[in-house]
Amino acid sequence: MRRKIIAGNWKMNLTLQEAESLADALIKDDFTGNGTEMIVAPPYIYLQWLASKRKTLPNLQVAAQNCSEHNAGAYTGEVSAVMLASLGVNYCITGHSERRSIFGETGTMLAAKVNRLLENKLGPIFCCGETLPQRESKRHKETVKDQLQDGLFHLDALSLEKCILAYEPVWAIGTGVTASPQQAQEMHEFIRSVLSEKYTKEVAGRIPILYGGSVTASNAADLFSCPDVDGALVGGASLKADEFKKILQAMNSKNHA
């Protein structure tokens, strides 16, 4: 049975006080259950504090939103996987489209980040997804395949299985436009077939693939009804405890393959 995962990406939002009330609301009732894992990715400076909350909510896992491709050295402003591991962080989002487009992260850089994370026993949450022009020119599958190839396919099967994948069409991120369940299923199935070709059907069948892009409490259940959608990477809606909780509950209701 594949893991079911709901991950919240707070991006560059919330003051410490706001983060505290959101975390308190998340911790108040443990609404993970039926096997759904909850991952929260706050800004770097809240990571240690959020990781300490696991004493009250052991089901909470903590992710960074980025890391350096280097382990240490003269890289002002950067944070390494070694540092994240020393705080007890479990995962790190890698290759988010905002990092790719705003900060110019390339496939080569992402492959190095994935390596640093795995060396330090952190799980990469590796994002891929096409822009609107790429979809409109029917290059969405090719784009996603290239992203997987460049960032992940240097890994052996054992290392790949430590990763979580997230399909996030760029045109759906923060726009309020969600991929239809059919579009999401088509791409998740495609990603699994690409993994299957490169590794094996069994390996591909074990990798969780999350959907990301304007997931809300009202569209979550439809998206989660797709057989190859194993959860969500949630941006905006993860900033509201009630909304995030409903998304987790929608995943809980899924009887997974």
Question: Which one of 234, 241, 250, 251 is in contact with ligand PGA (CB under 6 A)?
Answer: 234
Tokens of 114: 């994935």
235 binds ligand PGA (CB under 6 A): yes
Where in 195-224 is the site for ligand PGA (CB under 6 A)?
Answer: 212-215
Select which of 98, 130, 168, 243 is catalytic.
168
Supply φ then ψ for residue 249, to 5 degrees: -65, -35
Q: Which CB, 39 or 234, lies closer to ligand PGA?
A: 234
**At closest approach, how far in Å is the CB of 96 from ligand PGA?**
6
Distance in angstroms (rounded) separating the CA atoms of residues 146 and 152: 10
**At closest approach, how far in Å is the CB of 18 from ligand PGA?**
17
Distance in angstroms (rounded) separating the CA atoms of residues 101 and 183: 23
**At closest approach, how far in Å is the CB of 94 from ligand PGA?**
12
Q: Position of tokens 């290759």?
A: 95
Select which of 37, 69, 96, 188 is catalytic.
96
Burial of 74 (0-12, 13-18, 19+ CB in 10 A): exposed
42 binds ligand PGA (CB under 6 A): no
Secondary structure tally for the chain: helices H, strands E: 12, 8
Question: Which one of 174, 177, 197, 205 is in contact with ligand PGA (CB under 6 A)?
Answer: 174
Q: Which CB, 63 or 160, lies closer to ligand PGA?
A: 63
233 binds ligand PGA (CB under 6 A): yes
* Nearest residue to ligand PGA, by Cβ distance, number only: 235
125 binds ligand PGA (CB under 6 A): no
**At closest approach, how far in Å is the CB of 97 from ligand PGA?**
7
Q: Is the four-CA dihedral 52, 57, 58, 62 of positive or negative sign?
A: negative
List, in order, residues 6 or more apart from 107 with CB less than 8 Å away.
146, 147, 149, 150, 151
236 binds ligand PGA (CB under 6 A): yes
Q: Is 140 a catalytic residue?
A: no
**At closest approach, how far in Å is the CB of 14 from ligand PGA?**
14
First CA to last CA across the chain, in angstroms?
A: 6
229 binds ligand PGA (CB under 6 A): no
81 binds ligand PGA (CB under 6 A): no
168 binds ligand PGA (CB under 6 A): yes
Q: Are 241 and 26 in contact (CB under 8 A)?
A: yes
**At closest approach, how far in Å is the CB of 41 from ligand PGA?**
9
Tally of CB atoms within 10 A around 133: 10
Picking from 251, 171, 197, the residue whose alpha carbon sits closest to that of residue 219 is: 251
Q: Is 243 a catalytic residue?
A: no
Q: Are 117 and 95 in contact (CB under 8 A)?
A: no
What residues line the site for ligand PGA (CB under 6 A)? 9, 168, 173-174, 212-215, 233-237
Which residues are part of the catalytic machinery? 96, 168
